[in-house]
């Protein structure tokens, strides 16, 4: 009976792994944001599966998914704001050219 | 339950396949579209798990978000069409290792933990929406309000960061943008 839960959790885990690879390997800011989006998608799949198959009586699980969606929207807004600022300043959003941001 | 597991696996495989395609294509527009399809498959997984409200919300939100992302890709990438075959990656081996370790740890927890009995019957869609509304405007109201204020703050901050910096020219009476 736990097969459905396991299928959802495995999908979430693999999506998270792909997202980690993307966020660490890409040199472009927008592509890094895509990796973060995949990581958050993996987390959301797990949250919905936990709510649906383990605790459907408690709606905190769905609430948590809405919070993760908010984080996705905020990440996109701030990320694109930073991308525009970087593009205006140096004409590129390549993170290998962002060594001046080092502390 | 068998049909649910089957469709969950189908949409899960689609989400993973399109997720891999995001980082395998040279064309940035194709990357954005692959991410859109991956996120849509995740939304379909929500629908299969009978979470109608979140599933529809996920699909609608991601369709808009990824369309904007595709436009930004064309604006900012040096080679948006991927015709030059540029390699836009670095520290590949470390990244693959980190991704495998992260996924492996999560898979180990999923397989080895004792999850207990699984609930077969999900609440009806109307009941879910009603209860989620009560949750949002009751016990979790502070979290809900905080999320709203955070989005507003992010919108203002992103606009402030994105607008060109204005400074006074040397003669003092004319503004120029950098």
- pLDDT, tens digit (0-9, with 9 covering 90-100), for B32-65: 899 999 999 999 999 999 999 999 999 999 888 8
Chain B 79-138, CB below 8 Å of chain A: which residues? Answer: 88-92, 94-96, 98-100, 102-104, 106-107, 110-111, 115-123, 128, 131-132, 134-136
Contact A9 B110 (CB under 8 A): yes
Chain B residues with CB under 8 Å of A72 CB are 61, 65
Q: Answer yes or no: are the C-beta atoms of B56 and B34 closer than 8 Å.
A: no
Q: Answer yes or no: are the C-beta atoms of B103 and A17 closer than 8 Å.
A: yes
Pairwise CA distance, residues A46 & B110, whole Å: 10
Report pTM: 0.89
- Residue ranges in chain A whose pLDDT is less than 50: none
Using CA atoms, how far residue B133 sits from A56, A60, A71, A91, B166, in Å, is 15, 11, 20, 45, 45
Domain range spanning residue A33? 2-96
What lies within 8 Å, CB to CB, of B8 at 6+ separation is A4, A7, A8, A11, B45, B48, B49
The pLDDT value given to residue B30 = 86
Q: Which of B29, B50, B82 is the last residue of a domain?
A: B82
The pLDDT value given to residue B119 = 87
Residue B7's pLDDT band (cuts 50, 70, 90): very high
**B130 and B58 within one domain:** no
Domain CATH for A37: 1.10.287.3510
**B130 and B78 within one domain:** no
Domain range spanning residue B159? 124-163
Strands B166-168, B175-177: pairing kind: antiparallel
Q: In this structure, is residue A101 part of a structural domain? A: no
Domain count, chain A: 1
**B135 and B77 within one domain:** no
Residue B80's pLDDT band (cuts 50, 70, 90): low
**B73 and B136 within one domain:** no
Domain count, chain B: 2
Q: In this structure, is residue B171 part of a structural domain? A: no
**Helical spans, DSSP H, in chain B:** 2-22, 28-48, 52-76, 92-112, 125-136, 141-162
* Residue B72 vs residue B16, higher pLDDT: B16
In the block, tokens 């015709």 appear at B83
Pairwise CA distance, residues B35 & A46, whole Å: 18
Interface with A, mutate which of B7, B17, B23, B90 (most A CBs under 10 A): B23
* Residue A72 vs residue B1, higher pLDDT: A72
């Amino acid at each position: 009976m736990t097969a459905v839960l396991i299928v959802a959790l495995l999908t979430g885990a693999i999506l998270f792994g792909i997202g980690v690879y993307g966020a660490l390997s890409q040199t472009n800011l927008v592509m890094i944001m895509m990796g973060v989006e995949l990581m958050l998608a993996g987390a959301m799949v797990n949250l919905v599966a936990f709510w649906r198959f383990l605790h459907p009586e408690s709606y905190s699980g769905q609430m948590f998914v809405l919070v993760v969606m908010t984080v996705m929207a905020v990440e996109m807004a701030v990320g694109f704001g930073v991308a525009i600022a970087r593009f205006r300043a140096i004409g590129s959003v390549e993170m290998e050219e962002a060594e001046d941001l080092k502390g | 339950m068998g049909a649910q597991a089957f469709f969950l696996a189908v949409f899960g495989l689609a989400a993973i396949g399109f997720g891999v395609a995001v980082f395998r294509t040279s064309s940035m527009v194709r990357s954005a579209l692959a991410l859109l399809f991956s996120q849509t498959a995740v939304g379909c997984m929500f629908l299969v798990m009978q979470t109608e409200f979140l599933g529809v919300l996920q699909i609608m939100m991601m369709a808009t978000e990824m369309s904007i992302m595709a436009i930004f890709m064309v604006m900012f990438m040096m080679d948006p069409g991927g015709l030059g075959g540029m390699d836009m990656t670095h520290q590949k081996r470390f990244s693959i290792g980190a991704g495998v370790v992260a996924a492996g740890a999560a898979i180990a927890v999923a397989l080895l933990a004792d999850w207990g009995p699984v609930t077969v019957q999900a609440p009806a869609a109307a009941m879910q929406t009603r209860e989620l509304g009560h949750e949002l405007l009751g016990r979790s109201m502070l979290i809900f309000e905080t999320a709203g204020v955070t989005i507003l703050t992010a919108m203002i901050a992103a606009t402030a960061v994105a607008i060109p910096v204005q400074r006074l020219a040397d003669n003092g009476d004319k503004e120029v943008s950098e």
